[in-house]
Amino acid sequence: MGVEASVRGGRSRYGRRWRYWLGASALALGLGSAAGCSSVHESLGTSDSPCYVALPTATAAAGTAGHFDGVRLMKVSSVAFPRLQSALQQAGIVSGRVCLVAFKGNFTSATVSHPSGRASGHLAVVVLRYPSGSLVATVLFSKLPTKFGHSHLG
């Protein structure tokens, strides 16, 4: 009777425990994997992703004369282009970080907000304070000496 008492419906209580443990382990593993994936992929995968929240401000500053080309979060001390350095100095920004958002198109100082640098150009780089996202300047270039992609600037 001992064997029959431990078997109910053709299954032993040890089999149920094993299936319960296996199911609970699979669920925990699945939840752990999902949590790991979401925490890793919550951002855009670049160190520049905090600047993407400033895109509406940057787009408004550049106007309708161009299209988005890239974004970059940079230390002020790492900004290597003289026109950008000049715009930062004029605004009194000497340390910290800034967001640089580039647009390609045909720009003039009359078509952008807070123009700086050239009177016209095919590239507008909107400089924004980080983390506030407030507009510092829109610097116009004919071209940059380096490729500016969605995550590259100097």
**Residue 74: which H helix or E strand, with range?**
strand 66-75
Look up the pTM and report it: 0.66
- Tell me: do 54 and 94 sit in the same domain: yes
Residues 12 and 33: their CA atoms lie apart, in Å, by 32
H helices then E strands: how many in the chain?
Answer: 4, 7
Residue 152 falls inside a structural domain? no
Residues 138 and 118: their CA atoms lie apart, in Å, by 10
Count of structural domains, the chain: 2
User: Residue 47 has which token pair?
Assistant: 């160190």
What is the pLDDT tens value at each position of the chain, 154 positions in all?
555 454 555 555 665 665 555 555 554 554 444 444 433 334 444 576 788 899 999 999 999 889 998 888 999 999 988 999 999 999 999 999 999 999 999 999 999 999 998 999 999 999 999 999 999 999 999 887 555 554 444 4
Residue 154 falls inside a structural domain? no
Q: Give the largest Cα separation in the chain, rounded.
A: 97
